[in-house]
Structure 1
Amino acid sequence: MLLTNLELAFRAGAVAVLLVLTASLFSGFRSVLAGRLAIAFALGSAAHAASYSIGAPALVSAWHAPLIALSTGNVAVFWLFTRALFDDDFRLHWWHGAVWALVSAFSFVSCLWIAPSGNLRLAVVATNLISLGFIALAVMQTITSWSADLVERRRRLRVFIVVAAALYGGLNALLQVFVGGSGAGDIANTINAGVLALVVAAIACAMMRVDGADLFPAPAEPAPAIVPSQPVAAEDAADQKLIDALMRLMSDERIYRQEHITIGALAGRLKIPEYRLRRLINQRLGYRNFNVFLNNHRIEEAMAALADPAQAEVPVITIAMDAGFQSLGPFNRAFKAVAGVTPTEYRRLKTSVA
């Protein structure tokens, strides 16, 4: 009885914190995609806290099945959340919603038909393997895009959120796979509920210590203009000297053309620590992402080439790759984000004016 009450207390605490976090996110960041996905993830996590147990029973009640389905579908939301969190240019498409719906529907069908028909082990293993797959995708997104983030406090906090959620979700999915349909007992479920409550409290506490504007990108704003930084009263002379050296690398050497150029390599050329270069590009030049900083310089070069009558017969893909892009798709998306039109439309407009 004590363990049951303790488990319920942990579950109720986790749900309460998640609902408060949802309300806070809705109030401040519902207009931002990453904020909306964070709201959805918090609500799905609340459903998980209310419904999850180690060692799933063969029979699930009709009211319990939707909560389990939402809890399972939340791994897809977690993946999308990490994508939006680490990529300010990420946009949702219809198939993202379809993926979430399929995962949730499979979990719902498993609860009401597959497991009760004598295939409990199959239902449990399949559902949790799906969860592990999405968690792996989220971790990969974190690893591959983390280095491009220029906002230091956001980098640290986002990694903490993703790692904490992925470790909890991954360990529970593995445990559920190995436990299967056996009863795990009150002790295991009480420990699980306690760990979940601690993870939720830690994430909420960490988010409260960071300015939300650092964590979530502001609604779409024009990209910073590519102009040499002008000295201001508060700017340190040494920083200004470094910015001038950086802009010379961009304009004179066109270092952005180099394949797989990293912020570490660029910091090495300037002979400064990587963290200092991050701060300079973020705080002095106004960029939140290193790839956007590079791409804006590449696009500036591409714009000049597309507007040049002497290069009217040069294919767009050639211009894109000469500027440092590796393929046409990313170039078209980045170009339109800056210019508002596709490269082909931009060339046609400039040609008609000429």
Structure 2
Amino acid sequence: MTFATLELAFRAASVALLLVLAASLASDFRNVLAGRLAIALALGSAAHAASASIGAPTLVSAWHAPLIALSTGNVVVFWLFTRALFDDEFRLRRWHGLVWALVVAFSFASCLRIAAGGNVQFSIIATNLISLGFIALAVVQTMASWSADLVERRRRVRVFIVAAAALYGGLNALLQMLVVGQDAGDVVNLINAGALACVVAAISWAMMRVDGADLFPVSVEIAPAIVPNPPAAAEEAADQKLIDALMRLMADERIYRQENISIGVLAGRLKIPEYRLRRLINQRLGYRNFNVFLNNHRIEEAKAALADPAQAEVPVITIAMDAGFQSLGPFNRAFKAVTGVTPTEYRRLKVKAA
């Protein structure tokens, strides 16, 4: 069997697996933003598997150019996917679509105009620098957000998905720039196709290890009431002592008001390892996300302030900031997710009931 035949087999396997993955996600999670972006990412990756080659020829055919453009635009989808995967409050905006369209258009023009006009080196380097830029944004987003996920296995799978895709995409882009204008040979393209097939298979396998509903929550998590769990026969005394200490930090010191409060800081205050605090908040208090845990306490404080006649003239944004929110938008979304109404409506209802 020749190298070219093996490469084609790896490409076909990657495309087939990605299409099956996209179909499965469309069946179960097409109404979830992270799920829809995962579908788009799988389809864009299929375009990459079908079209990508190291040391591509100078002239690109008309049918090949759209696949390459979609493959390049997939780095924007990857960045958006990481944002939706780790941030339940993330929403797509029109400018996100505009950025994707501009990247796709530039890649398409590079294939048919810039490279064909003799500027092959500029075309390849510019396109791959764009790819590296969005991959870097995705990695930074993941590093900033992953610690808020309190479900250990799900967090590991999410990080693995991002890390595997970023590693392959980053190395592929660097290799494209290193061999620009050269023929990399069949062996390099075979290794590239094989590496992609392995990454796709590994990500698919990792996704099968967790409940899809956990990986792509159908709705934003509604925070449970802030009531410490009553002691149970099976509950360890040490855990209950830590939960009581945690609740005192929340109720008495209102530590949730601190700017950039993290689970690491909170674990430090309790003098316990971070992983143990994750387990306590997740398994004992019923939260899947650390930010939801914090926001629940912040919203309880805001609800009390909005219902207080003495604070009737205090602006909503002041109440939000005092409770620990950094801006009005996230506060309004989190407040409505918990209460079903906006802060202004909540205040009006309380005034009428008084």
TM-score bucket of the superposed structures, by smaller chain: over 0.9
1:319 aligns to 2:300 (yes or no)? no
- 1:257 — aligned with what? 257
Name the CA distance, whole Å, in 1 between partners of 2:221 and 2:162: 26
Amino acid at match of 2:278: R
Deviation of 1:232 (Å): 4.8
* CA contact 1:31–1:219 (8 Å) conserved in 2: no
**Secondary structure in 2 matching 1:136:** helix
* CA contact 1:229–1:244 (8 Å) conserved in 2: no
* CA contact 1:22–1:43 (8 Å) conserved in 2: yes
1:240 aligns to 2:243 (yes or no)? no
Q: Which runs of 5+ in 2 are unaligned?
A: none
Amino acid at match of 1:46: A
- 1:75 — aligned with what? 75
1:303 aligns to 2:279 (yes or no)? no
Amino acid at match of 2:105: A
Name the CA distance, whole Å, in 1 between partners of 2:88 and 2:46: 26
Q: Deviations over 1:59-109 (max 9, x none)?
A: 111111111111111111111111111112222222222222221122112
- 1:84 — aligned with what? 84
- 2:53 — aligned with what? 53
* CA contact 1:77–1:100 (8 Å) conserved in 2: yes
After TM superposition, the structure 1 = structure 2 runs for residues 1-354 of structure 1, keeping only pairs within 5 Å, are: 2-220=2-220, 222-232=222-232, 234-354=234-354
Q: Which moved more, 1:6-15 or 1:219-228?
A: 219-228
Deviation of 1:209 (Å): 2.0
Deviation of 1:337 (Å): 2.9
Deviation of 1:178 (Å): 2.6
Q: Which moved more, 1:200-209 or 1:238-247?
A: 238-247
Q: Deviations over 1:4-40 (max 9, x none)?
A: 1111111112112222222322233223221121111
Name the CA distance, whole Å, in 2 between partners of 1:219 and 1:341: 17
Amino acid at match of 1:339: T
Q: Which moved more, 1:23-32 or 1:3-12?
A: 23-32
* CA contact 2:220–2:337 (8 Å) conserved in 1: no
Deviation of 1:44 (Å): 0.9
**Secondary structure in 1 matching 2:173:** helix
Name the CA distance, whole Å, in 1 between partners of 2:221 and 2:334: 14
Name the CA distance, whole Å, in 1 between partners of 2:231 and 2:40: 43
Name the CA distance, whole Å, in 1 between partners of 2:13 and 2:50: 10
Name the CA distance, whole Å, in 1 between partners of 2:334 and 2:181: 49
Q: Which moved more, 1:57-66 or 1:337-346?
A: 337-346
Name the CA distance, whole Å, in 2 between partners of 1:81 and 1:57: 31
Name the CA distance, whole Å, in 1 between partners of 2:101 and 2:5: 34
Name the CA distance, whole Å, in 1 between partners of 2:306 and 2:214: 36
Sequence identity of aligned pairs in percent? 82
Amino acid at match of 1:155: R
Name the CA distance, whole Å, in 2 between partners of 1:175 and 1:265: 40
Name the CA distance, whole Å, in 2 between partners of 1:58 and 1:230: 70
Alpha carbons of 1:260 and 1:221: their partners in 2 closer, same or farther (altered >3 Å)?
closer
Amino acid at match of 1:15: V
How many residue pairs were aligned?
354
Amino acid at match of 1:242: L
Name the CA distance, whole Å, in 2 between partners of 1:194 and 1:296: 47
* CA contact 2:124–2:180 (8 Å) conserved in 1: yes
Alpha carbons of 1:326 and 1:220: their partners in 2 closer, same or farther (altered >3 Å)?
closer
Name the CA distance, whole Å, in 1 between partners of 2:242 and 2:290: 16
Name the CA distance, whole Å, in 2 between partners of 1:30 and 1:132: 28
**Secondary structure in 2 matching 1:116:** coil
Deviation of 1:297 (Å): 0.5
Q: Deviations over 1:133-183 (max 9, x none)?
A: 110110000100011111111111111111111111011111212322322
Name the CA distance, whole Å, in 1 between partners of 2:296 and 2:60: 54
Deviation of 1:285 (Å): 1.9
Amino acid at match of 1:262: S
Q: Which moved more, 1:229-238 or 1:271-280?
A: 229-238
Deviation of 1:243 (Å): 2.3
